[in-house]
Structure 1
Amino acid sequence: MSEILAEYYRHLFNGSPFAIIGTDGQGVIVSWNRSAEGIFHSEPSRMLGRHLAEIVPPEQRSLFHAALEQAVTSKQPADFEIEQSNKQGQKQILAGVITPIIDDQDQILGLATWISDITRRKNLEIKLAQTEKIASLGTLASGVAHHFNNIMGGVATFVDFALNSDNPQASRRALQMTAEAANRVAEITQSLLTFAEKDARQFDLSDLTEVLLTFSHLVERPLAEKNIKLELHMQGVPIFEVPGSRMHQVLGNLLDNAEHALPRGGTVAIDLQRQDEQLVLRFSDNGFGIEPKDLPHIFEPFYTTRGVSGGGDQTCAGLGLSVVHGVVRELGGNIDVASRLGKGTTFTIRFCLPQKS
C-alpha cells in the first residue's frame, strides 16, 4: 500500500502544471518537478543542491530575497513575480508563492515554492486594456466635439456681434468673451494632453508629506474665504517621493471637485497614513455627495454632473477626475471613491511602498 501511495504522490508531484520546488530549511533545493524543468530549462541533476535564489535572474534577486525573508520571518506564504527569457529569447513572466513547511513544534522544516507561467494572462490583460482604451475613444471624441461646438458657437456669435456693432464698449465686451472662450479651449486641450500622455515634468521628485504641506498652505486662506475649513492629518508616514507638479495637479482637481460639493461651506480633510506596506491618502469633503448612478462613471473622460452635459456651467469639461485617475495610475497607485448623498465624498489613493533590499 505504501508503494502505491508513494507512486501516486510522485505522479501528483510531476504531473502538476505548476513548477514545484522543495528546499530544506536553508533554502537548498531538494526536489524539482517536471514543470520546473520545463519553465527553467534545467534538469533536476543540475538544480538539486543549489540555492533557491539561483532560479532568479541576478538583477531581480533583491525582490525575491525580500519575499523569501517574508515567508521565513512570518511563517506565512509570500508572493513574488519575476521575469526571464524563454528558449526563443522572448520575455516570460512568472508568478509564484513561497510556502514554509512547519513541523509540530512550529519550526520551519523547509520551503515549498509553487511557480506558474502567467505570460499569456499578462498579454491578454494588456490587449484588454488596449481594447477598453479604443472603446473609450468614441466617448472622448464625442465629448471633445460637444464642448468645442458649444464654445466655438459662442465665439462665432461674439465675433459677429463685434463686427456689426457700432458700440465700442459692447464690441470690446464681445471680444473679451471671445478671448475667454479661447482660453477654455486651451484648458481643455491641456487637460486632454495630460489625460493622454506622460509629462516630462513628472520627474521633479518631492516627498509626499512636503507636497501636502505646501498645497495646504497655498489653499488654506482661499478656502477660508469660502467658509471651507481645511484639515490635514499625517501620522507615521515614511518618506515617499512623487513628482511634485503632478501631485499638485491631482490635489487641485480633487479640491475643485470638493469645492463644487460645498457651495455653502464645510470641511475638506486630507489624511495620509501608512497601512502595512501601503501609503494611503484620503481626500474627503462633507458636501452633498455623488449620486449612486454617477459613481461608476466618475473617472470617465468628459463625464460630468456640472458642465454642459450635466446641466451646469459650460466651463466644466469633465476632465478633472479623469486626469486624477490617469496621473495616479501613471505614478503606480490606484484610486477609488466612496460617497453618500448628504454626507460627503472620499477619494482614496493607495501607493505601494518600495520593498527594502
Structure 2
Amino acid sequence: MSLRELLSGVVPDKLSAALAVLLCSPARIVSVDGAWVMDDTPPLAENARRLPLAHDLETVGYLETTAKDEARVRAVTIIMESFMRSGARYFMASEMHIEVVKSDYEELQRKHAALAESEARYKALAENLEARVKEQVHTIASAHRQLYQAEKLASVGQLAAGVAHEINNPIGFIRSNLGTAQSYVQKFQSVAEPVRSSGNAALVSAWQAADLDFVLEDFPSLLQESVAGADRVARIVSDLKGISSVDKTEDEIVNLNDSIRSACNVAARQINDHADLELALGELPPLRCKAGHLGQVFLNLLLNAAQAMHKRGKIRIQSRADNEQIVILFSDTGCGIQPEVLPRIFDPFFTTRDVGSGIGLGLTVSRDIITAHGGSIEVSSELNVGTTFTIHLPIKQENR
C-alpha cells in the first residue's frame, strides 16, 4: 500500500499542525519517491533529518524535520506508523465495503434488467392475448350475427315461398278466367250488330234498356286492366320467390340486373311513396352467386334509400362490368349521413332510426354478404345532398 492510501483517512492540515506542535519544529511527510507530499509543505532546510516510516517491514515514506530532540522525533515516528496501521485497516475496510456495495449494485442491476425483460415479455404476451381475445370476440360476434341473420332470412324465405305458392295458384285461375272472359266479350261484340239490325223491336228495346252497347264498350278495358293487374301480381310473386331463396345453400348462375329489377318490384310501393326510380343497367356477364342473398342486399339498400327521403327525391341504380368486376351503384338524393356517423354505419346493431324501427343489422349483413362473395361495399355521403353505395363483385367467384 502507498503512503497516500495509508493516510487517506487523515486530514492533512490537522496532522501537519499536530506534528509541528509535537516536534516544536517544522515537519513534513513525503513518499519514498518524493512524488507525494502531505499538505504540499515546502522543502525544509538542508540540515533537515529524514526518518523512514515503515509499514509491514517496508519503508513507504519519510518524516522530514529539523527537530533536534531525538526522543520526540522517535515518538512522532511511532505515532505516524500507528496512524498508518490504522489507516491500512480503514482503507482495506473501505475498499471491501465499496467492493461489496459495487457487487450488490451490479447484482441488483442484473436482477432489475432480468425483471424488466420479464415484464416486457409478459406485457407482450398480455397484448398478444388481448389481441387474440378481441379477434375471437369479433369472430364469435360475426358468427352470431350471421347465424341470427341466416335464421331470420330462412324464416322469411319459408314464409315468402309459402305465400308466393298460395298466391300463385289463384292468380293462375284468375288470369285464365280473365282470358276466357275476354273471348266471351268478343263473342258478345260479334252479335251486337245483328241484334241492333234485326228489326225485332222488343229485342232492340231490351238491348238498349240494359245499355249493352256501353257494357260492350267498357268491359274490354276493364278486363284489360284486370289482366294487367293479374300479370303484375304474378311478376311480384315471381320476384318474391326470387328474394325468398335466401335459404338456398347452393350457388346459381344469374344476371344481377334481373335480381335488381326483382328487388325494385318487391319494394315498388315503398319506393313510389318517396322517390322516382331511375335504372341505368349496363350489360352484365352471368355471375355464379347466392342470388337470394344478393337480392336481399339490393332490397336493403333500396328500402334504406326510400326511408332517407325527407321529401320526394330520386333513387338511381347503375350497373356495369369493369374489367374483372361487376360494379353496382345505389344513389339517392335523401338527407345524407352525418360525417361523424358515416364510419359506423356498417357496425352491428348501429342505427340512426327511432327505437323499434330497426335493429341495425341490415347494412352489417349486407356487407357480410358482399364480403362472402369476395367483393366490397363502400359508402360516400354528403349531408342534405344524398348518399351513394358502391358494390364491387369479382366476376370470377372463388370457392366459398
Give 1 or 2: higher strand fraction: 1
In our comparison, the structure showing a higher alpha carbon Rg is 2
Is TM > 0.5 for Structure 1 vs Structure 2?
no
More helix by share: 2
Give the TM-score normalised by structure 2: 0.39
